[in-house]
Structure 1
């Protein structure tokens, strides 16, 4: 596919944002916590809206979300709100089903709590997937020694069972990009077979699809705990 053909393709981005972020231990969902007076969700939306190929952004929120209404007037025109489900996979599927799959034959899914993703990494992911006509994800290679925890009901603390070989291991990040109809079919298959779907790639793996690993910057952290906020602020300010 030529650069001109790639530039003409419209891509939809889906942001599952229906979670409550229990590990953050905040009184509001983590996507509405602020960094530099701007919510994490808005930072993430702004990052995706910089990408020329992304012409629709679907934000999937909880049916009982009281916070999104306060942001609606500040969101870019290409943002569409969709009601999600009790778990991330159901929210992603709701977002996918809301798309015009003829117009948006490709989609990418990005965590609401990853506002530090670099625009150039998103562009690299899109270029790689479209030029090779296969799906892919942003990821980073595992650098640390990996330990497996011993599963023992008699221990009330984590105990090492063994050291795992880290060769060939990667940390899966987002965005993750796939053909829209293929991702819908893979998620539906996984749910029908009661498989664990932890990200979009895990659903696509059930279909034996080829999935590219595109190395991204380590600053693409997922804000999960309170201590992550300061690091995310540092990365955003550095940009």
Structure 2
């Protein structure tokens, strides 16, 4: 059984939600979104640490959430995040202990299924890296700077990437260090690993693992919790 550390970046302000409170700390059912998210991982076999980079003003609240949500044998670490998601995760990586796998998951994806988490971890253990995703259901258009359509890629090879994204620790640390040295800003963790030529496998999840980004997403999440479909 591979030992694991979970990183949940929660330092963003979430301006698209049009709320004063950052998205992870909004109420969802009887607790916050981030607490719902952590609960999805708290009983994961081999989990040793949960590391949450957040804003300075939410350090105390985050520590309380970890103390309540984590089993006694899982270490909770809270730190002040960086100016970007990538910087926050790089800081969190430096706090990771002697584990084999690093799991990175969005704080605002509270409906991920544990079977998909396990599948992603197993694939990363075998291949070096793995990400959860679903096949693209809409036709994707590639446009130019004038919004003129230049290409319609086949959906056969297009997937919508989610989290968790899981990597062998040394591989992910190398990727983040190289990105820092090159001043490269990726769109996700996998993009940093891919640019070094390492293998990252796509693992199929489902569409219930959506990211709460806009007010409509929050309304849907609340509806799922009320109807007991968030489990």
The answer to whether the Cα contact below 8 Å between 1:60 and 1:91 also exists between their aligned partners in 2 is yes
How far 1:197 sits from its partner (Å)? 1.3
- Which residue pairs with 1:143 in the alignment? 137
Q: Distance in 2 between matches of 1:65 and 1:180?
A: 27
Which of these residues, 176, 185, 188, is aligned with residue 199 of structure 1?
Answer: 188
How far 1:55 sits from its partner (Å)? 2.3
How far 1:163 sits from its partner (Å)? 4.9
Asked if 1:186 is matched to 2:170, the reply is: no
Asked if 1:94 is matched to 2:91, the reply is: yes
Which of these residues, 111, 123, 131, is aligned with residue 116 of structure 1?
Answer: 111
Q: Distance in 1 between matches of 2:180 and 2:162?
A: 22
- Which residue pairs with 1:126 in the alignment? 121
How far 1:160 sits from its partner (Å)? 5.0
Calculate the TM-score normalised by the size of structure 2: 0.89
Write out per-residue CA displacement over residues 103-135 of structure 1, whole angstroms, 9 at most, x where no aligned residue: 2121110000111111111011112222x2421
Asked if 1:210 is matched to 2:187, the reply is: no
- Which residue pairs with 2:38 in the alignment? 45
Which of these residues, 9, 12, 17, is aligned with residue 19 of structure 1?
Answer: 12
How far 1:41 sits from its partner (Å)? 0.5
Calculate the TM-score normalised by the size of structure 1: 0.86
1:228 aligns to what SS in structure 2? Answer: helix
How far 1:184 sits from its partner (Å)? 1.2
The answer to whether the Cα contact below 8 Å between 1:221 and 1:232 also exists between their aligned partners in 2 is no
1:68 aligns to what SS in structure 2? Answer: helix
Asked if 1:230 is matched to 2:223, the reply is: no
Write out per-residue CA displacement over residues 4-39 of structure 1, whole angstroms, 9 at most, x where no aligned residue: xx3xx2100100111111111101101011111210
The answer to whether the Cα contact below 8 Å between 1:50 and 1:119 also exists between their aligned partners in 2 is no
How far 1:221 sits from its partner (Å)? 0.3
Return 217-226 or 160-169, whichever deviates more.
Answer: 160-169
Q: Distance in 2 between matches of 1:71 and 1:82?
A: 14
Runs of 5+ consecutive residues of structure 1 not aligned to the other structure:
1-5, 153-158
1:146 aligns to what SS in structure 2? Answer: coil
Q: Distance in 2 between matches of 1:19 and 1:117?
A: 20
How far 1:71 sits from its partner (Å)? 3.3
Q: Distance in 1 between matches of 2:64 and 2:20?
A: 17
Q: 1:99 to 1:69 in 2, by over 3 A?
A: closer
